[in-house]
Amino acid sequence: MLMKILISGLLLSSTVLIATPQKIGTASAKPKLILQITVDQLRGDLPDKFMKNMGEGGFRWLKEHGIWYKNANYTYSNTETVVGHTTLATGAIPAIHGMVSNVWYDRVKKRLVYNIEDKRYHILSKNADVDDSTEVDSSQALAGTDGRSPANIMVSTFSDELSLFTNEKSKIFGVSVKDRGAVTLAGHNGKAFWFSKTSGEFITSSYYYDTYPDWVKKFNEQKLAERYSDRSWTLMYDKSKYMFGNSDDNPWEEDYAHFGRVFPHAYKSKDNKYFNHYLTFSPAGDELTLDFAKALIENEKMGQHEVTDYLAISFSSTDYVGHIFGPSSLEAEDNMLRLDKTLASLFKYVDEKVGLDNTLIVLSADHGAPEAPGYLAKLGIEAKWIAPLKWNKKPSLKRLEKKFGVGQALIEAFFPPYLYLNHKVIKEKGLNLAEVQKAVAKEIMDIDGIALTVTSTEMRNNTLPDTYLYRAALKNFNAKRSGDILILFEPHCFANDMDGGAVMASNHGGPWTYDTFVPVIFAGNGLKGKQIFRSVKPNDIAPTLSAVVNVKAPSGANGDILEEVMEGIK
Ligand SMILES: [Zn+2]
């Protein structure tokens, strides 16, 4: 009897095995590779705006073959690079993942800190640290060390969960020109590489490796960045083909580090101290990122293991181009066409190496892009730059001094969007913190261009009205890192480099739609083209990826699983 049951059990199993092979052979539910692409500063409408002149294999392929969410918005107030990347990686809001801004004030260290700085883990290359004399990235320039790690990210990432699920069998990498674009998505257990604007190489820190893998050494020995030496960024097509062909030279564009305001933009010689910076201000930065990603896919045999591998690539050029020239410029338009080419080349390569049917691609952005104030003004939309260091503080400080017996000493640090009060002084003077916060917040509210100030006491006590702006402020509030007062600017008002000196054409970082609106696109792995118009959030991506590979969602994730994706890959 026992034998009979065993035999029929065996028969049953073999029947099941025979009945299901088609599913294993075609687009399998579990992808061999998850390719998470982030385009820095890609506002949701920009791919469609410039699609007319795009080729076949990039955005057009995503449109025809991907599930494209056309109404995805970040829900928190501080739409900056590290905040967005960490939200994409973790599915959490900044209140929970802790990366509340590119720079915050550390009350223990008593200084402003850069989001991923970590003095325990130095970069592995010599002469590749940020060079303060040339660094255009003002937040990166504030780092107190060359060391980098994901230690400040307070929750797990999707990539961490994948690693836990497979007991580290999944290969996990993050690659970007920007260190924070790579470190965030690689998570705590993956490996991150980023571009050194000092050495022109792709580098990493001792958090990830003791020495460079051989293939990275070989890649860097090729000195691919130097192929741009004595060349220029030129237009891909004749000027007449472009939407902005007749407006190359706009007064609001920035001649940053003498890269010029009109085509052709000369990269100059490799010995020029800004040479590697120029590459990042142009599509060359993305092209180099693509070269490195291809070498990584080849050498790490991505997508060729028994478990799902994960590669995150963050393309940074769109952000630099947007800041320097604005998103409505000939430079931004040509950059989009070249980004499209870069994506097409990446997808073709992945198809050859892994197969797009075995690869789940997800593309999004860390934040959107505001139009340059100069351009908006030309169209009759009032816009302005806010220069925090130029605020006339004297009358406010006088009033505070009258009320509390102390004025300037109440303020410990200020870096938009947060102002930090000096808790020690407030305690020593026997003052009530909530009252001081309220009084300072009221003074700031009177400044032209400020939409709202919110105190940390109001946020802790949850005494706020249930409005869009307060909800966005709360989602950005982390009790340890956020300041005493959050300052939000009105629509089309932008903080520039603090003192009013024009250093860029446009700047993101607010709660308004142009900054919150990003594309969310899933493609590959058997998915079919579809446009979805219901409202979704970029923090739905990590829980959705988790559901696709059956791992638990990251520890702070609060997004929803996108059902169209789950149904599409069934
Ligand atoms: Zn960014």
328 or 130, which is more confident: 328
Nearest to 439 by CA among 408, 390, 399, 477: 399
pLDDT-derived band at 11 (thresholds 50, 70, 90) equals very low
Q: What is the 3-state secondary structure (H, E, C) of 404-441?
A: HCCCHHHEEEEECCEEEECHHHHHHCCCCHHHHHHHHH
User: For 459-489, what is each residue's pLDDT tens digit?
Assistant: 999 889 999 999 999 999 999 999 999 999 9
pLDDT at 366: 98
Q: What is the DSSP string of 246-264?
A: T-S--TTS--GGG--SSSS
* Ligand 1 center–CA 540 separation, angstroms: 19
User: For 418-466, what is each residue's pLDDT tens digit?
Assistant: 999 999 999 999 999 999 999 999 999 999 999 999 999 999 998 899 9
* Ligand 1 center–CA 180 separation, angstroms: 9
Q: What is the pTM of this model?
A: 0.94
* Ligand 1 center–CA 80 separation, angstroms: 6
CA distance 11 to 19: 12
* Ligand 1 center–CA 565 separation, angstroms: 26
The percentage of residues in the chain with a pLDDT greater than 70, rounded to a whole number, is 94
* Ligand 1 center–CA 367 separation, angstroms: 6
* Model confidence at 7: pLDDT above 50: no
pLDDT-derived band at 19 (thresholds 50, 70, 90) equals very low
Across 259-273, b (16+ Cβ under 10 Å) vs e yields bbbeeebebbebebe
Average pLDDT (103-131) is: 93
CA distance 104 to 305: 40
* Ligand 1 center–CA 546 separation, angstroms: 24
Average pLDDT (296-322) is: 97
* Ligand 1 center–CA 75 separation, angstroms: 16
User: For 529-545, what is each residue's pLDDT tens digit?
Assistant: 999 999 999 999 999 99
* Ligand 1 center–CA 324 separation, angstroms: 13
The CA–CA distances, whole Å, from 30 to 24, 67, 349, 526, 549 equal: 10, 17, 20, 11, 6
Q: What is the DSSP string of 280-299?
A: HTSTHHHHHHHHHHHHHHHH
The CA–CA distances, whole Å, from 559 to 62, 73, 181, 193, 555 equal: 23, 12, 21, 28, 12
User: For 362-385, what is each residue's pLDDT tens digit?
Assistant: 999 999 999 999 999 999 999 988
Which tokens is 142 given? 């504030």
* Model confidence at 264: pLDDT above 80: yes
Average pLDDT (233-262) is: 95
* Ligand 1 center–CA 40 separation, angstroms: 5
User: For 187-226, what is each residue's pLDDT tens digit?
Assistant: 999 999 999 999 999 999 999 999 999 999 999 999 999 9
* Ligand 1 center–CA 81 separation, angstroms: 3
Q: Are 33 and 348 in contact (CB under 8 A)?
A: no
pLDDT at 463: 85
Average pLDDT, the chain: 93
Q: Are 463 and 448 in contact (CB under 8 A)?
A: no
pLDDT-derived band at 3 (thresholds 50, 70, 90) equals very low
CA distance 189 to 540: 22
* Ligand 1 center–CA 63 separation, angstroms: 23
Q: What is the DSSP string of 16-46?
A: HHHHSHHHHHSS-SS-SEEEEEEETT--TTH
For residue 443, the surrounding DSSP H or E stretch is: helix 433-445
Nearest to 368 by CA among 119, 31, 45: 45
* Ligand 1 center–CA 143 separation, angstroms: 17
* Ligand 1 center–CA 423 separation, angstroms: 32
pLDDT-derived band at 127 (thresholds 50, 70, 90) equals confident
* Ligand 1 center–CA 192 separation, angstroms: 17
List the end-to-end C-alpha distance of the chain, in Å, as a whole number.
Answer: 39
